[in-house]
Chains A and B, each alone.
Chain A
Amino acid sequence: MDAIISGRAGVALLVEGEVLSSFDVEDPATLLPRQPADLRLLFGEAPDVQFLEHVDRAEAARQLDLAFNQASALDLALILFDPELTGDVRDDAAVELERLLSDPPVVEYLENILYGRTLPAASDIAGALLRCAGGRLPKLSVTLQLLEGYQPSIRAVCVAWDALPTTLFGGDEEKTEFQRTAVREGLFRKLAVEAASGPRAHVDEFILRARLNPSVASLKNDREVLQQWASPFRLHATVPRVTHEVDDFLEESSQRRGRRHARRRRGTAEEELNKVQRQIDLIVEAMQQRNFAFARKITNQVIDYQLETTRPINAAKTLCNLATEAKALGIYSLQLELTERAIQIVPDDDWSWTQYADALLKMHRLADALKAYEQAESFGAGVIAKNGRAEVLKAMGRLDEALAAYDAVLVDNIGDAFTKTGRAETLRAMGRLHDALTAYDSAVAEHPESAVAKRGRAEVLKAMGRLDEALAAYDAVLANNPNDSITKNGRSCVLIALRLYDEALQLLPDENPATLNDWIGYHMRGMIMLRTGKIEEAIEIFERGVREDPIPSSKEYFRNALAVACLRRGGREDLERAGNALEGVTAPLLQPQANVLRLHAFGASGKDALAVTAHEKLRDKPWFIPDELVAELHRRYILKEEPRHDDDWVFEKEEDTFLFDPNQQMLSYTFLPAA
């Protein structure tokens, strides 16, 4: 039996000798008798009619189901990209598309079509990607990220196609027919992927494989068309772009391949480097767009290529450089992934270990970070590893050990500005504010270029309650670095303490946080809402932080703040929510604030035992938690005595613990590259 099917029409026509019958994709069990004249009615103008030879009914039904799913996947993708459709329709399209993408032939069909042209300007791929956020729709997410990442290659492939003269095909219609076949058979997709592969582009293999496809081979002048089309993507077609790394690469290349014909190869090596550099640019661009699937894919290509053609250390360096880019963008999970791979490739490279330890610190895996810094030190990483180790101890709340570690570096007289500011920060965190100020003054004097030292000094002045001096110190930093977001956040904090809320709001970043400083600023925005009585808006901000802030320790600040806001609102359910929010606070440095709030939340909801435990943990509370606040909460919820202050006083004191917390600003220094 033969069959004619169309997924677009959703119909299969079975041909058994002279007898014709059909069934619909919605009801494959029901067979309807047909006449030859029905063919036109059944398939209409469907562009995807397929002829199947020697198939039985079950196979025809299976093929029809696949073709229907392929056509549906394309429809759903177009719905997903359409910004004019409502969110619920686009959401449902995303979920159904995820289901359809479980079938590899559906993925291939969809990609073949979507890679045939760049997405129209009106396509909302960002909105489509947003629907996959949080790992809910992993297959769709990867498909979209790759599609987005390959757009420049797709554009290049289409430009190359459009430039082909019509005469090469024998006419306009022939060119259109060739293009239709090339899209359907995935040639546009394959060439776009090759075009993004830098020096690994296998153009000849692309042509060979394309010509092995009977549908392509039957087209007029196929060899010449493919040769000309793919020509811009051959290595020799690159316009050389000289960079400072060229010579290193050339040396590496010639050492590995022998020096014969080095002169002739120089051009090729430069081209290869340019292609690698272009791929690295692509990866960074993909990171900026949070297109991780594409970033990973191209990274794998670059690293595999480097492992084949140069020493492993170069691949590790590339990974560490990319990790630095990821860190600058606040993508710490990717920083960790890249550095982890670097130490796997070169297990004894001190630089890779340092970068790996730094990534672990960012991800708040403090014990692992400590070990990694020790490992880096054992491979000869020196002062960077020592500073890093002290930094981790500080983040663990082991402030005495951190101070000792910094002092040890300074005793060896190898300390730099990082050591001195790190030590000063530790003193500040210990509440030794005068010592901290002295340390910062000294750091500023020795390293006047260090914005970290100057900001730290301003922080100490703020913590000492010398708010006017703190403002002046921040202003001095801003005078040299007007766009320094860490300083702006610090200044805002002082303005909030001075109740100058509008002025503070003006300094804060907009309401779409992306970087760590954006999130810290967003947290402050919530605090301003809270301070000005806009509790619902504050809760909305803190809930979003808990939900979306990608930085684990920063996210915990939002948990604490959400607990305060819930306590402020004061309903029975709010007390429960406050307790739940506090459950997720695990960072050692945040425990004192969390325990104040636990004492409040558990005490107010009658969970006396839990309140007592929280109070006991406050025995060694840090300096920025006022004694009178702990005493008031103790009086109210443990001793069950009459309060001495009203609720507003309590809430304000609790909120102050955020404003005067030295650790939140410290996050900026810990989690951001040095200014």
Chain B
Amino acid sequence: MSQIRPCGYCGHDFHISKPHCPHCARPALYGNVVTAEDREEVAALERRYEAAKLAARSRGAEALRAVESFEAEVSNTRAVIARPAGELQRLSTSDREGYASFYELIEAGIRFPSGNKWDALRPAADETLFPYYKDKIRFAALTLDGKGLPGYGECFIVLRTEMIEHRASAFEENSLLFFSKHFKTGIDEETRLPRGYRATWGERGKLCVAKLAGGIDGATTPDAYSGLLLRQGPRPEEDDFVEVHVWGPMTIRTVERVSFNKPTSRTAREITNRANKQRLAKFGVTFG
């Protein structure tokens, strides 16, 4: 897709990474959402979605009904971030504490690239997916039951839909893995990555169907949907989930609820969790 878009007010072109139109300074939309709204992206996703439904129909009416039921459920999914408890503690102290992106942390000197293969791959992948605005993107996963991927931290932070739906998009899987599997070098930016693997927040149900309907048959019951949507692998690169990209800052005000993936046996942690629960309540965040 083109990274150049016309301003909705003055009509002059500018790059999708810019938060304001450089000509009339009116606020622009969010790069990841603009990309997901691209006509060709939408058409490609629609094709995958229809193909998935067609395949379900071919497996019988029960399978189709199960896929439709699945689609209804995943259309109401939420975004979840898994982080260490310390990160939650920091966020819960004040609504002036921001949740930083990977690049903001590196820029601030808080985190250093570990030098592993993923960190080496990340800048290229992110620059391709989020050209000139990769530092604005925070990563999350879609969830049905509020649980996230424990490999990223023991604390599951569910985001408020109303605070992100206008700036979030959904992506087929871990974008690094997707990049490593599908990226093609070449001059033409348009063909470096295949289309139809991302969706606006409102269309995330279709993306889930396109990706996961093949694993649903007449015997699939709703209690299996959570596991289909988000599954922890034996190793992080084997985790399977639908990635969420959220443009821009987040604070504790962006959070709806918090839970931990396992009970603690440490008294200090238990007390800290109780304290966090009270601190979070001040911001309308539920716990547990």
Interface residues of chain A, those whose CB is within 8 Å of chain B, are: 8-9, 25-26, 35-41, 44-47, 68-69, 71-73, 75-76, 79, 82, 84-86, 89, 92-93, 96, 100, 173
Residue of B nearest to A173 (CB): B109
Q: How far is the CA of A100 from the CA of B86 in the complex (A)?
A: 19
Shortest distance in angstroms between A330's beta carbon and chain B's nearest beta carbon? 35
Q: How far is the CA of A345 from the CA of B154 in the complex (A)?
A: 60
Collect the chain A residues with CB atoms within 8 Å of residue B274's CB. 89, 92
The 8 closest A-B pairs by CB, nearest first: A72-B268, A44-B84, A79-B275, A36-B116, A37-B116, A8-B86, A39-B114, A75-B272
Residue of B nearest to A48 (CB): B86
Shortest distance in angstroms between B14's beta carbon and chain A's nearest beta carbon? 33
B271 within 8 A of A: yes
Stretch among B5-13, B24-32, B259-267 lining the A interface: B259-267
B235 within 8 A of A: yes
Q: A79-B271, A96-B268 are in contact. List 12 more A-B contacts (CB 8 A).
A: A35-B236, A38-B235, A40-B119, A44-B84, A45-B87, A47-B110, A76-B271, A76-B272, A84-B279, A89-B274, A92-B267, A93-B271
Residue of A nearest to B266 (CB): A26
The answer to whether A44 touches B275 (Cβ under 8 A) is no
Known contacts being A89-B278, A93-B271, is A75 close to B236, with CB within 8 Å? no
Partner of A44, one of B86, B116, B237, B268: B86
Known contacts being A79-B275, A86-B278, is A46 close to B84, with CB within 8 Å? yes
Shortest distance in angstroms between B257's beta carbon and chain A's nearest beta carbon? 20
The answer to whether A92 touches B84 (Cβ under 8 A) is no
B151 within 8 A of A: yes
Partner of A45, one of B105, B119, B264, B282: B105
Q: Interface code B248-288, partner A: CB below 8 Å = 1, 0 otherwise?
A: 00000000000000001111110110110011001000000
Shortest distance in angstroms between A128's beta carbon and chain B's nearest beta carbon? 14
Shortest distance in angstroms between B115's beta carbon and chain A's nearest beta carbon? 8
The answer to whether B268 touches A100 (Cβ under 8 A) is yes
The answer to whether B116 touches A72 (Cβ under 8 A) is no
B19 within 8 A of A: no
The answer to whether B264 touches A26 (Cβ under 8 A) is yes
B131 within 8 A of A: no
Q: How far is the CA of A8 from the CA of B87 in the complex (A)?
A: 10
Interface residues of chain B, those whose CB is within 8 Å of chain A, are: 83-84, 86-87, 89, 105, 109-111, 114, 116-119, 151-153, 235-237, 264-269, 271-272, 274-275, 278-279, 282
Residue of B nearest to A71 (CB): B86
Collect the chain B residues with CB atoms within 8 Å of residue A72's CB. 266, 268-269, 272
Q: How far is the CA of A263 from the CA of B54 in the complex (A)?
A: 104
Collect the chain B residues with CB atoms within 8 Å of residue A100's CB. 268
Collect the chain B residues with CB atoms within 8 Å of residue A96's CB. 267-268, 271
Residue of A nearest to B267 (CB): A96
Known contacts being A26-B264, A69-B268, is A85 close to B114, with CB within 8 Å? no
Collect the chain A residues with CB atoms within 8 Å of residue B237's CB. 37
Collect the chain B residues with CB atoms within 8 Å of residue A41's CB. 151-153, 236
7 contacts between A and B (CB under 8 A): A35-B236, A39-B114, A46-B84, A84-B279, A84-B282, A89-B278, A92-B271
The answer to whether A8 touches B271 (Cβ under 8 A) is no
Q: How far is the CA of A362 from the CA of B55 in the complex (A)?
A: 94
Collect the chain A residues with CB atoms within 8 Å of residue B119's CB. 40
The answer to whether B279 touches A85 (Cβ under 8 A) is yes
Main secondary structure of the interface of B (DSSP, over half): helix
Shortest distance in angstroms between B152's beta carbon and chain A's nearest beta carbon? 6
Partner of A38, one of B83, B86, B236: B236
Collect the chain A residues with CB atoms within 8 Å of residue B269's CB. 72
Residue of A nearest to B84 (CB): A44
Q: How far is the CA of A92 from the CA of B268 in the complex (A)?
A: 9
Q: How far is the CA of A9 from the CA of B274 in the complex (A)?
A: 18
Collect the chain A residues with CB atoms within 8 Å of residue B235's CB. 35, 38
Partner of B86, one of A9, A26, A36: A9
Residue of A nearest to B274 (CB): A89
Q: How far is the CA of A86 from the CA of B111 in the complex (A)?
A: 34
Q: How far is the CA of A82 from the CA of B83 in the complex (A)?
A: 24
Residue of B nearest to A79 (CB): B275
The answer to whether A26 touches B151 (Cβ under 8 A) is no
Residue of B nearest to A82 (CB): B275
Shortest distance in angstroms between A121's beta carbon and chain B's nearest beta carbon? 14
Collect the chain B residues with CB atoms within 8 Å of residue A8's CB. 84, 86
Shortest distance in angstroms between A486's beta carbon and chain B's nearest beta carbon? 45
Residue of A nearest to B265 (CB): A26
The answer to whether B84 touches A9 (Cβ under 8 A) is yes
Collect the chain B residues with CB atoms within 8 Å of residue A93's CB. 271, 275
The answer to whether B110 touches A45 (Cβ under 8 A) is yes
Shortest distance in angstroms between A314's beta carbon and chain B's nearest beta carbon? 48
The answer to whether B87 touches A37 (Cβ under 8 A) is no
Shortest distance in angstroms between B79's beta carbon and chain A's nearest beta carbon? 19
Known contacts being A44-B153, A75-B89, is A25 close to B118, with CB within 8 Å? no
Collect the chain A residues with CB atoms within 8 Å of residue B84's CB. 8-9, 44-46
Shortest distance in angstroms between A250's beta carbon and chain B's nearest beta carbon? 53
Residue of A nearest to B277 (CB): A89
Known contacts being A38-B236, A85-B279, is A75 close to B117, with CB within 8 Å? no
The answer to whether B116 touches A39 (Cβ under 8 A) is yes
Collect the chain A residues with CB atoms within 8 Å of residue B236's CB. 35, 37-38, 41
Collect the chain B residues with CB atoms within 8 Å of residue A85's CB. 275, 278-279
Shortest distance in angstroms between B239's beta carbon and chain A's nearest beta carbon? 10
The answer to whether B272 touches A40 (Cβ under 8 A) is no
Shortest distance in angstroms between B111's beta carbon and chain A's nearest beta carbon? 5
Known contacts being A37-B237, A96-B268, is A89 close to B275, with CB within 8 Å? yes
Collect the chain B residues with CB atoms within 8 Å of residue A35's CB. 235-236
Q: How far is the CA of A84 from the CA of B276 in the complex (A)?
A: 11
Shortest distance in angstroms between A177's beta carbon and chain B's nearest beta carbon? 8
The answer to whether A45 touches B278 (Cβ under 8 A) is no
Q: How far is the CA of A76 from the CA of B264 in the complex (A)?
A: 16
Shortest distance in angstroms between A675's beta carbon and chain B's nearest beta carbon? 49
Shortest distance in angstroms between A176's beta carbon and chain B's nearest beta carbon? 8
Collect the chain B residues with CB atoms within 8 Å of residue A38's CB. 151, 235-236
Collect the chain A residues with CB atoms within 8 Å of residue B118's CB. 37, 40
The answer to whether B264 touches A40 (Cβ under 8 A) is no
Residue of A nearest to B105 (CB): A45
Collect the chain B residues with CB atoms within 8 Å of residue A26's CB. 264-266
Interface centre among B84, B237, B274, B278 (most CB of A within 10 A): B84
Residue of A nearest to B263 (CB): A26
Collect the chain A residues with CB atoms within 8 Å of residue B278's CB. 84-86, 89
Q: How far is the CA of A86 from the CA of B274 in the complex (A)?
A: 10
Collect the chain A residues with CB atoms within 8 Å of residue B264's CB. 26
Q: How far is the CA of A25 from the CA of B268 in the complex (A)?
A: 12
Shortest distance in angstroms between B184's beta carbon and chain A's nearest beta carbon? 24
Q: How far is the CA of A26 from the CA of B279 in the complex (A)?
A: 24
The answer to whether A89 touches B116 (Cβ under 8 A) is no
Shortest distance in angstroms between B266's beta carbon and chain A's nearest beta carbon? 6
Collect the chain B residues with CB atoms within 8 Å of residue A68's CB. 266, 268
Q: How far is the CA of A73 from the CA of B279 in the complex (A)?
A: 18
Shortest distance in angstroms between A348's beta carbon and chain B's nearest beta carbon? 54
Shortest distance in angstroms between B206's beta carbon and chain A's nearest beta carbon? 30
Residue of A nearest to B119 (CB): A40
Shortest distance in angstroms between B10's beta carbon and chain A's nearest beta carbon? 39
Shortest distance in angstroms between B250's beta carbon and chain A's nearest beta carbon? 15
Shortest distance in angstroms between B191's beta carbon and chain A's nearest beta carbon? 29
Residue of B nearest to A34 (CB): B235
Q: How far is the CA of A96 from the CA of B111 in the complex (A)?
A: 31
Collect the chain B residues with CB atoms within 8 Å of residue A69's CB. 268
Q: How far is the CA of A25 from the CA of B269 in the complex (A)?
A: 11
Collect the chain A residues with CB atoms within 8 Å of residue B272's CB. 72, 75-76, 79
Residue of A nearest to B176 (CB): A37
Q: How far is the CA of A68 from the CA of B85 in the complex (A)?
A: 13
The answer to whether A25 touches B275 (Cβ under 8 A) is no
Collect the chain B residues with CB atoms within 8 Å of residue A44's CB. 83-84, 86-87, 152-153
Q: How far is the CA of A84 from the CA of B109 in the complex (A)?
A: 32
Shortest distance in angstroms between B119's beta carbon and chain A's nearest beta carbon? 7
Shortest distance in angstroms between A107's beta carbon and chain B's nearest beta carbon? 15
